Structure 1
Amino acid sequence: MIEEVIDVKGKNLFIKFNHSFENKPTIVFLHDSLGTVQLWRDFPEKLAEATQCNVLVYDRLGYGKSFPMITHERENNYMELEADVLNDLLSELNINDVILFGHSDGGTIALLAASKYPEKVKAVICEAGHIFVENITVKGVEEALNAYNTTNLPQRLEKYHGNKVEMIVKAWTEIWLSEKFRTWNIESFLKNITSPLLFIQGEADEYGTLEQVEKTVAQVTGTAEKFIIPNVGHTPHKESPDIVLNKSIEFINSVIN
């Protein structure tokens, strides 16, 4: 597994990359709003090994071992811009056949990338992604911000993000709690998704209702499957790793074999 920081059109991004399998797609992992390469733990390697696929995991700008953001300020289209960065990263690494596995913000970015760059995307696994803003999501972000201000959460995040923690927390919470973001909606992109889609969601997700799943699978053009896990919250791959791993293996094998 190669680990390095590479320059992607002026953005210095940390990547972990393994390209061991000829003529096999690369599974690209897209982390959540406070995530990093490290926080995926060994899940990417397990999925890649089980499906005999290549794997790419990276920290978005501002996160983990990537360079800091220039500013914490974001516009409503910030996840669409991240889909463009992903496309630039794939071009830089000469990767043209990918299966996207995105969690939360990463799930939304995966949907946007599949919509904008369908020629590169073979399939999508979207875990707890969002396509519009719900009250439950705003409440979840408010509670996370309160935890940041009243618990040892800053110190726990520092372990992964170093001195960039305050910047990424502001970047995430300020846009999601802003009045202008209440109108954010990416449903218009969904019809352009032609690759197979697996949408995984915990039934007890504290950041979104099952309406996110239903409206997504109903509007994509390609085949779409939903996988709802009872008694699981916003991070199924951590809360029920074996269930998510086995379902993901099944889905990927159905796409590549």
Structure 2
Amino acid sequence: MNGMAEPVTTLGDDARSATVALPATAQRGALDIEYRWLNTHLTDAPLAVFLHEGLGSVAMWKDWPQSVCDRLGMRGLVYSRPGYGRSTPRPHHVKLPVDFMSVQARDILPALLDALDVSAEERKRMWVIGHSDGGSITLLYAAAFPDALAGAVAIAPHVFVEDISVASIAEAKTAYEQSDLRSKLARHHDDVDSAFYGWNDIWLSDAFRSWSIVDELEYIRCPLLAVQGYDDHYGTMAQIDTIAQRASHTRLAKLDNCGHSPHRDAPQALNDVIVDFIKKHDGSASA
């Protein structure tokens, strides 16, 4: 499971974008996953894995994961989920299932870590940091593998469906079809329609209105930080308040003058709270 394509982008000596092949299983076909390592020279440092938003990719993170890893003295792993970036696109006739985020947490991410030879010991020291849909996947991974990570950070996650989320996602569809949003996203995805409609169609489906991962939150035992902006138009504070109700050890961070993307809207405030939290729970991280 270690076959690797030639790098498609090189950013310095140890920030490299490439693809790794995940073989077919009974549940899915073979996949190519775009990924990038950060700070590989820190060979003994813990690993931070970054999970992107519903329309994100390796490239769309820009330099934010690097800034977090540099402040913490950690290695980093950034990757594009199937259907996004340079990873295997979603076939247009295939609709995402209601539990697509659970599949990512319990199947795709563990398979990627296996393919990249991330050992069980490394995973116990690993932090998972996710934004939006990636934040939800972070919570699901922490619930499914409670003894296999050091901690988790969920940024603007979804744990149930709110009307404000559906309304904003419907507005995004209008923007995609009537403005330059499609051309902007096309810079970052090999199949932009696959990426957009895979995300948009499932979120706007009737079946998804009852989606919830609230019950799974009670299985999270690792240190957990949940972050949300007060001006988030894709979800309210009820999302992270619910996390704290179900996983009482959760630390909440509520950011002023911040929308759905704290790493873009309030990067300094977000970095400060993440670094402070991880330093308190991981003695091997350095600032």
- Normalising by the residue count of structure 2, what TM-score does the alignment of the two structures yield? 0.86
Q: Is the 8 A contact 1:232 1:239 kept in 2?
A: yes
* Partner residue in 1 for 2:26: none
Bigger fraction of residues in helix: 1
The alpha carbon displacement at 1:62 in A equals: 1.4
* Partner residue in 2 for 1:182: 209
Distance in structure 2 (CA, Å) of the matches to 1:3 and 1:183: 37
Distance in structure 2 (CA, Å) of the matches to 1:65 and 1:252: 30
Distance in structure 2 (CA, Å) of the matches to 1:175 and 1:212: 19
Q: Is the 8 A contact 2:257 2:266 kept in 1?
A: no
Q: Is the 8 A contact 1:87 1:117 kept in 2?
A: no
Secondary structure at the aligned position of 2:188 is classed as helix
Distance in structure 2 (CA, Å) of the matches to 1:117 and 1:93: 18
Secondary structure at the aligned position of 1:161 is classed as coil
Q: Does 1:88 align with 2:111?
A: yes
Q: Does 1:245 align with 2:271?
A: yes
* Partner residue in 2 for 1:202: 229
* Partner residue in 2 for 1:236: 262
Q: Does 1:192 align with 2:206?
A: no
- The runs of 4+ residues in structure 1 deviating greater than 2 Å are 18-24
Instruction: State which drifts further: 199-208 or 1-10.
Output: 1-10
Q: Does 1:25 align with 2:46?
A: yes
* Partner residue in 2 for 1:50: 71
Please give the residue correspondences for 1:58-69 in structure 2 after superposition, counting only pairs within 5 Å. 58-69=79-90
* Partner residue in 1 for 2:199: 172
The alpha carbon displacement at 1:220 in A equals: 1.8
Identity %: 32
1:16-59 CA-partner distances (Å, limit 9, x unpaired) = 01333344321000000110111111111111111111100000
Structure 2 gaps, min length 5:
1-13, 24-29
The one-letter code sitting in structure 1 at the alignment partner of 2:178 is T
The alpha carbon displacement at 1:109 in A equals: 0.4
* Partner residue in 2 for 1:156: 184
Which of 8, 11, 14 is 2:31 aligned to? Answer: 11
The alpha carbon displacement at 1:120 in A equals: 2.1
The alpha carbon displacement at 1:14 in A equals: 0.6
1:212-245 CA-partner distances (Å, limit 9, x unpaired) = 0101112126x21110011211001101111111
The alpha carbon displacement at 1:192 in A equals: 0.8
Structure 1 gaps, min length 5:
none
Distance in structure 1 (CA, Å) of the matches to 2:41 and 2:226: 27
Q: Does 1:108 align with 2:136?
A: yes
The one-letter code sitting in structure 2 at the alignment partner of 1:101 is I
The one-letter code sitting in structure 2 at the alignment partner of 1:15 is Y
Distance in structure 2 (CA, Å) of the matches to 1:57 and 1:233: 23
User: What is the aligned length?
Assistant: 255
Distance in structure 2 (CA, Å) of the matches to 1:67 and 1:24: 30
Distance in structure 2 (CA, Å) of the matches to 1:82 and 1:68: 15
> What is the alpha-carbon root mean square deviation over aligned residues?
1.3
- Normalising by the residue count of structure 1, what TM-score does the alignment of the two structures yield? 0.95
Distance in structure 2 (CA, Å) of the matches to 1:47 and 1:233: 19
* Partner residue in 2 for 1:122: 150
